[in-house]
Structure 1
Amino acid sequence: MDDEGDDQDAEGEDVELADEQPNEEALSDGDETDEERTIYLKKPEERSQIEDEIRDLEHTVPMLKKDYKLVDRLGEGTFSSVYKALDINYTGYYNHPWRGNHPVASSAFYQSAVPPSKVFVALKRIYVTSSPARILNEISILEDCRGCRHVSQLITAFRCNDQVVAVMPYFRNDDFRMYYQTLPISGIQGYFRCLFRALRDIHSRQIVHRDVKPANFLFDPRESHGTLCDFGLAQRVELDVASSCNHTGPSQDYPHGQISPLTQAEATRIKNLMIDARKKSAGPAERVGIPAEDSRPSVKANRAGTRGFRAPEVLFKCQNQSVAIDIWSAGTILLSFLACKFPIFNANDDIEALMELAAILGKRKMEKCAQLHNRTFATNVPAVVDRGLTWQETVERFNPHLYYPAPTDPPSHSHRAQQAHEYSEKHNTLIASALDLLTQCLETDPTKRITAREALYHPFLVEPLSEEVKAECERWGVNVSGDDAFFPWPPGNGVCGTAHFVDPVTDQHCVRIARGRTRVLVAGEGIAIGARPCEFHTGGWDFDAEDC
C-alpha cells in the first residue's frame, strides 16, 4: 500500500481563528446559537471561500438541503473536507443505532444522552480522488464501530453520482497544541481513558485504526470527552495468518502475536546476520547504508499512517502488523504530554525515523527489534551509542519541570506546607505511574506491548466502580470490575450472546425474542454492555426451544 502518511481529513480538523471581532450584525439573530455563527470568527477571505464550498456541496449533493443546514467548515485534508451542519430533521429519524445504550456512569454516556434542542453534525465530503474501495472500506468499518465508546459514529451516508458524504456527530474540541503543555495530570488521565477505551472497543472488533494522532482524536478539555475519528486508513485484522517474521501474527488469544520458537539452524542464521551487521557498522562509511544499485528483492508491507507516529514494526516493513501499532501511536502522544514537546519525531522517511529511535534507545535495542522482523540494523553514526536511554530518562531530559506540579489549586488553609507536600507527593506518584505506562506503550517488541484493555487497568488509568454499578453487575449475576463494566461487546457477545445468531443465508445479525419471534438487527443495535444484556433482552433471554 502506498504511504498515505499525511492524510489530514479528520472531522473537526484544526481551523485558524481570525483576530478580528465577529460581525455584530451577523451575530444578532437571536434564533441562532454560537455554534451556528463560528464562520463569522474567520477572516473575510476564508469565510468567502468556505461559503463558496458550501454552495458547491449543496448544488452537487442536493438531497443534503432537505435535512441539513451547512454553517461552517471544520477542516480539510488530502482526501476529504469536513463541514459543520445543523441537523434540521433530527427528531424525524430513528437515531438509536448510532447513539447506543451507554449507561449514565460510563464516560461515553454523552454519546447516548438526549441531545439539546439543536443538533449539529459533521458532514465529511470524500473527494473523488479516493478510490471506491477505500470509500467502501471506511464506511463499512464505521458501521461496524457503531456502539463503540469515544469513536465517531456513522449516522448515515449519501452518494450522488461520484460524490460521497458521510454524516457523523459533531463534537466540540480544542487544538492539541493549545493544551498539551498545560493540561493537568488529571486531564491527561481523562484524555487517555477515552483514547484507550476507543482503541479497546475497535480492537475487539478486529479493526486497527492505523492513524492514531492528536488531529484524529477530538478532545474537549473542559468536559474531558474525546472522540477517535478519521477511519480512512483503518483496516480489518486477519487472525491466525502465517508469519514471515520471528513472531506470530495476531490471534484471538494473542492480539499482538507471540514470539515464534526458533530451531537451532534459524537461531544460528539470525546470530550470523547480526554479527555481519555489527561488522558493517564498524567499517568505513561506504560500507554502511543502502547500495546505489540494490539487487535485494523488495519487501512490501503496509506503511499507512502519519510520520512521527509509526511503530517500529511499520518502519521495518513487518508483514504481520497487528493492533499494537495503534498502542505505539497512543504512546507517542503520551510522550508529548509528559515531555511538553510536540511533535517529538519529525523524520522525512522511514530510515530517518529509525535513526530517531536509535538515537534515543541505542543500537542494541534497534538490532533486537530488527531481528524480530527478519531484518538487520546497521549504522556508524557516532550519535547512536550501543545502549541508549530509557523512556523515563528521555522525558526527564526534555522536561526538567516534570516533577513540579502546576500551582492550579494552591492550598489555602493553615496546614499549607503539609498540603503542598501531600499534593506534590501525589503528583509525583502519578507521574511515575504515567512513565511506566509510557514505557509499556513504547515497547519496541509488539508482542510485549501493552494492550488497550491492559492499559485501562494500569494504575495510571484504572478507575474503581461505584457501589451502584457493582450492585447492577450482581443483579445480572456477572462478576466484572473496572472498564469491563462498561465495555460494549462485539455483536453476538455478552451475557445474552446465546440469543444472538447470524442468519446462514443472508449473513445478517439477528436476535431471538420471546414467543418465537426473531428480529434482524441494523448496525449498532443489540449490543450488550458490561454485565447488562442488550436492549432486546432486558427481560431475559433464556428461551425454551419451543419458544424460539
Structure 2
Amino acid sequence: MAVNYLSPHPSNPLEVGSSDVFNKAYKAQLGIGAEVHSDRLSEFVGGYASDSDDPLREIPKMEEYQSHIADVTGFKVSEMQQDTRYIDLDEGLSDDELQEGYGQDDTPRAARTRRAMRYVLEDEEDGGEEMDEVEEEEGEGEGGEVHKENDEEHDDLDVHPTSDDIDCFALDESEEEATLKLKPIDEQLEIQHEIQDFKNAVPMLGDDYKLIDRLGTGTFSSVYKAIDLRYHEWDNSPWLGHHPPASSAHYQSVPKPPGSRVFVAIKRIYVTSGPERIKNELLLMELCRGCRHVSQLITAFRHEDQVAIVMPYHRNEDFREYFMELPMPGIKEYFRCLLRALRDIHARHIIHRDVKPANFLFDPRTGQGSLCDFGLAQRFDSKAPAHGACLHITMSKDDAHGKYRTKSEYNSDWVRSQQVAARKKSKTRSEFVGYPDKDQRVPMKANRAGTRGFRAPEVLFKCGQQNGAVDIWSAGIILLFFLTRKFPLFQANDDIEALMELATILGKTVMEKVATLHCRIFSSNVPSIQSEVTWKTFAEKLNPELYNTPAPNPKFYPYTLPSQKAKLVLETEAENSLAGRIESPPAPEPSTSKSKASSSKSESSPAPSWDAAAVYKKDVAHALDLLEKLLHPESVKRITPEEALKHPFLAERGAREKKYKGDNGFFPHPFGNGVCGDMHFVDPVTDQPGVIRGGDDALDDGWEETRRLVLAGEGLAIGNDPCEFHKDYDAENKMWLS
C-alpha cells in the first residue's frame, strides 16, 4: 500500500530543491554515451555534455533548430537560454491519489527523457527539408499578399492536431512494446508476476490479447497495456465513431492500418469491487460511446469473479512532468479536450465525479486528451431528497446547472432565522462551537465520492441534487494548477478541513451564502476567514511570474508540429486572444534581461504580425477570468462546458468558427437527438437502440420504411449532419431522397 508522505500543513510541500537522481547523474550518463544511448544520439549530444544539462542544448544542429523556433514564435532562442531548475515533483506525493488512471506512464523519468529526445531528433531529420521548402515558397511576395494567403489557409487547415500531422503523432510500435524493459528489474519482475496471475485468472485473455506492461494501479483495479491480436478481424466502427476530419476528436475515428500492431488498455477490476459498481461503470461507458475525448469501451468480459474492460490505449505523460512547462496553446488544447468531453457526457446526463489530472490522459506532444475511469460516475438524479432539499432545482433543458427556487417555494423567514442563529454561534467562545456528540437530527445523505482537493463546495455540503457542475469545479482546480504552477494545492484530511481551506479563500460571507443555497448553515469563529480573496489574486500571489512570457519549449505542443502548422496554430491563438473583450490587467513589469529576451526577434526570419508578450498577457487575463467562472462557489452560477468553450480563452474565431459554428458543429448528439432524431427509437422490450431506414420494396416498386437495431455508439448525429444511417434522409422536409 502506498504511504502518504504529504504533510497536513496547507503550504505546498513540493517547493523544495531538486533530489532527482537523473539530474545528479546526468553528466555522468552523457559521458558514458555509447552505453546508455544509441551511437547516433551520443554523437549529437556528447558535444554539449561538458557545459550544460539544458534539454534545448541536446538537440542537433542547434543553429538550424533555433531558426526554426524563431520562425515559429518570433523569439530568438539563443538569447533566452536559461538554466532549468529541476524540481522533483514526485517527492512526498501520495501514490493513492494519482495512480488510478490507466494511462499514467510508469516508465522511469530518465527513460521518458530519452524517448522525448528521440522524438525531437526524428522530427528534425524527417521533416526539416520539407519545412524549409514551404517557408521559402510563402516568403515570396509582398506582405499584404502573404497575409491574404494565410487567411485562405485558415479555411482549409485545421488548427487542431490531427492523426496525420507528423510521425510523432503515431505510436512507435517497437518502443511501446518495450516499455517494460525500461523499468527497474524488481518492478519488471513484479509486473510480470501480475500479468501471469491475470492470464491464469482469465484463461481466454491470451487468445485475443498479449499483455506487455502495467500502466497503473489503484484501490479497485489495475490497468495493463496489451496488443490486440485480432483487431483487424472485427468491425470496430461502433466504438471508433464517425468524427469528421476537422474535429479535434477525429483521431479517435481513424482505423489502424492493416498489419499494424494495435495497443489497448485492459482494466482488471478487483473482486473487492461491488457488482453494482462494476455494472454502473460498464453501462455508463457504453452510453459514452461516440463522445469526444472520452475513453471508449471496446468490449468487456467476465470469468468467474474476474472482470476485464478493454479500452483504446492513449499515450500520455504524467501531469507532474509537464504542467509547469506546457505552453499556453497547449494549456488551451488541454481544456478544449477536457471541456468537450464533459459537454458530451453531461449531455447524456452523466456526472464523472472524479475529474483530475490522473483521469485525463493528455499527450503534451500532440495536444490530444482522453477522459477515463468512470468508476465513480453516476447519472443525474432529478429527484429532490426527502429531507434537506436545497434551495435550487438540479437541472433543466435551459439551466444545465439548475437555478434558484423562487421565494414562494420555500419558507424564507425560516431560512433567515437559521442564518442569524449561525452568525450568533460564530461569535461565541470556542468551547461553545462544534456539534453535539449525540446528534438527534435526521442525517443528510448525499453522494460525496471524489478525490480530496477536487470536490466542489456542494459535495462538501452534502447537496442531494448534484449535477455536472461538480465536474466543472474539478476542471477549474486543474486550471489553477497550471496558473500557479503548484500541484497539489488542497490536501485536507476530511470534509471539515476541506471547507475551511475554501473558506480561507472565499471568505465567511460567501461560504454562508453557499451553505444556504444547499439548505445548510456555516458557522466558524476562526478570525482568518473573514475576508474574501478572488481566485485571480490567489493565483497571482502563488505565482509572482504569472505574467512573464516563457520561452518556447520544443518538447511540447504546438512546437512539436511541423513548422508551418505550428506557425498557423500560434497565429490563430494570437488572433483569438487579441480579439477577446476582456481588458487585460496591468501586469508586473518583467526584469530587464527577460524583457530583452522576450522582445528579441530572429534575424533570419521576418517578425511575426503579433507581439508575443502582449498575446501572452492577454491569454493570462482570459485564463484568470475563466478560472473565476469555473470555480464559482454557487453551483447554479458556475459556467457550463458549452459556455466555457465559447469563452475568449478557448473560443475559436475566424474562418473555422464561421464554417463549423464553433464547437456545435462537432458535437455528437445523444442517441435520438440531432437532425434525424425522429428516425431513432428504443426497443420497449430490450431497451436496445434502433433506427428507421427507407428502401425500395421489391414487391410493389414502392418505398417503405424498415426498422433495425443498432449497437451502442452507432446512429449518432454530429452537429447539423445526420447519422451514418440517414445520409439520404431530408430531415427538414421529412422525406427520403431517392
- What TM-score comes out, normalization by structure 1 length? 0.91
Aligned counterpart, 1:427: 616
Letter in 2 for 1:320: Q
Aligned counterpart, 2:103: 12
Q: Output aligned runs, 1:252-267, within 5 Å.
A: 252-263=397-408, 266-267=411-412
Displacement of 1:465: 6.5
Question: Aligned partners of 2:461 and 2:642: how far apart in 1?
Answer: 26
Q: Output aligned runs, 1:17-166, within 5 Å.
A: 17=108, 33-116=174-257, 117-166=260-309
Displacement of 1:419: 6.8
Aligned counterpart, 2:87: none
Displacement of 1:19: 5.6
Q: Output aligned runs, 1:192-211, within 5 Å.
A: 192-211=335-354
Question: Aligned partners of 1:506 and 1:470: how far apart in 2?
Answer: 42
Aligned counterpart, 2:513: 368
State the SS of the aligned residue for 1:501.
strand
- Judged with a 3 Å threshold, the aligned counterparts in structure 2 of structure 1 residues 418 and 520 are, in CA distance, closer, same or farther, namely closer
Task: Report the count of equivalent residues.
Answer: 526
The reply to whether residue 489 of structure 1 matches residue 669 of structure 2 is: yes
The reply to whether residue 379 of structure 1 matches residue 524 of structure 2 is: yes
Q: Output aligned runs, 1:451-470, within 5 Å.
A: 451-464=640-653, 466=655
Letter in 1 for 2:429: P
Displacement of 1:316: 0.3
- Comparing 232-241 with 353-362, which one deviates more in the overlay? 232-241
Larger RCO: 1 or 2 (CA < 8 Å, sep 6+): 2
- Comparing 408-417 with 192-201, which one deviates more in the overlay? 408-417
Aligned counterpart, 2:438: 293
Displacement of 1:295: 3.1
The reply to whether residue 312 of structure 1 matches residue 501 of structure 2 is: no
Question: Aligned partners of 2:610 and 2:712: how far apart in 1?
Answer: 52
Displacement of 1:497: 1.3
Structure 1, residues 445-477: CA drift from partner, whole Å, max 9, x if none? Answer: 10110001111111111113746x866xxxxxx
Tell me if structure 1 keeps the 8 A contact 2:222–2:267: yes
- Comparing 111-120 with 451-460, which one deviates more in the overlay? 111-120
Aligned counterpart, 2:565: none
Displacement of 1:41: 0.8
- Comparing 374-383 with 313-322, which one deviates more in the overlay? 374-383
Letter in 2 for 1:128: V
Which residue of 371, 390, 403 corresponds with 2:547?
403
Tell me if structure 2 keeps the 8 A contact 1:15–1:74: yes
Bigger radius of gyration among the two: 2
Aligned counterpart, 1:511: 691
The reply to whether residue 450 of structure 1 matches residue 639 of structure 2 is: yes
Displacement of 1:115: 2.1
Displacement of 1:260: 0.8
Aligned counterpart, 1:343: 488
Tell me if structure 2 keeps the 8 A contact 1:250–1:322: yes
Q: Which runs of 5+ in 1 are unaligned?
A: 23-30, 472-479
Which residue of 728, 731, 734 corresponds with 1:539?
728
Tell me if structure 2 keeps the 8 A contact 1:7–1:306: no
Question: Aligned partners of 2:426 and 2:183: how far apart in 1?
Answer: 54
Question: Aligned partners of 1:32 and 1:463: how far apart in 2?
Answer: 34
Q: Which runs of 5+ in 2 are unaligned?
A: 1-95, 114-171, 554-597, 696-704
State the SS of the aligned residue for 1:159.
strand
Displacement of 1:282: 1.2
Displacement of 1:258: 0.8
- Comparing 340-349 with 261-270, which one deviates more in the overlay? 261-270
Question: Aligned partners of 2:183 and 2:618: how far apart in 1?
Answer: 43
Question: Aligned partners of 1:417 and 1:398: how far apart in 2?
Answer: 37
Question: Aligned partners of 1:171 and 1:388: how far apart in 2?
Answer: 41
Structure 1, residues 462-508: CA drift from partner, whole Å, max 9, x if none? Answer: 113746x866xxxxxxxx61000000010011111121122233332
State the SS of the aligned residue for 2:729.
coil
Q: Output aligned runs, 1:229-248, within 5 Å.
A: 229-239=372-382, 241=384, 244-248=389-393
Question: Aligned partners of 1:453 and 1:20: how far apart in 2?
Answer: 39
Aligned counterpart, 1:217: 360
Question: Aligned partners of 1:276 and 1:168: how far apart in 2?
Answer: 53
- Judged with a 3 Å threshold, the aligned counterparts in structure 2 of structure 1 residues 365 and 89 are, in CA distance, closer, same or farther, namely same
The reply to whether residue 171 of structure 1 matches residue 171 of structure 2 is: no
Structure 1, residues 404-447: CA drift from partner, whole Å, max 9, x if none? Answer: 11022864246999979921111111111111111001011101
Structure 1, residues 284-325: CA drift from partner, whole Å, max 9, x if none? Answer: 001122233333332111100000000000000011111110
Structure 1, residues 240-283: CA drift from partner, whole Å, max 9, x if none? Answer: 64781111122233221110112498222222211221111111
Question: Aligned partners of 1:172 and 1:523: how far apart in 2?
Answer: 25
State the SS of the aligned residue for 2:538.
helix
Question: Aligned partners of 1:508 and 1:420: how far apart in 2?
Answer: 55
Which residue of 707, 716, 719 corresponds with 1:530?
719
Displacement of 1:6: 5.2
Question: Aligned partners of 1:79 and 1:16: how far apart in 2?
Answer: 22
Question: Aligned partners of 1:514 and 1:205: how far apart in 2?
Answer: 28
Q: Which has the higher helix share?
A: 2
Identical residues among aligned pairs (%): 54
Which residue of 382, 395, 420 corresponds with 1:250?
395
Question: Aligned partners of 2:107 and 2:391: how far apart in 1?
Answer: 47
Tell me if structure 2 keeps the 8 A contact 1:156–1:167: yes
Letter in 2 for 1:389: V
Question: Aligned partners of 1:272 and 1:200: how far apart in 2?
Answer: 39
The reply to whether residue 323 of structure 1 matches residue 468 of structure 2 is: yes
Letter in 1 for 2:640: T
- Judged with a 3 Å threshold, the aligned counterparts in structure 2 of structure 1 residues 20 and 192 are, in CA distance, closer, same or farther, namely closer
- Judged with a 3 Å threshold, the aligned counterparts in structure 2 of structure 1 residues 429 and 171 are, in CA distance, closer, same or farther, namely same
Question: Aligned partners of 2:268 and 2:723: how far apart in 1?
Answer: 33
State the SS of the aligned residue for 1:129.
coil
Question: Aligned partners of 2:654 and 2:198: how far apart in 1?
Answer: 47
Tell me if structure 1 keeps the 8 A contact 2:240–2:252: yes
Tell me if structure 1 keeps the 8 A contact 2:506–2:533: yes
Tell me if structure 2 keeps the 8 A contact 1:217–1:229: yes
Structure 1, residues 201-243: CA drift from partner, whole Å, max 9, x if none? Answer: 0000000000000000000000000000000000011336478
Tell me if structure 2 keeps the 8 A contact 1:502–1:508: yes
- Judged with a 3 Å threshold, the aligned counterparts in structure 2 of structure 1 residues 20 and 484 are, in CA distance, closer, same or farther, namely closer
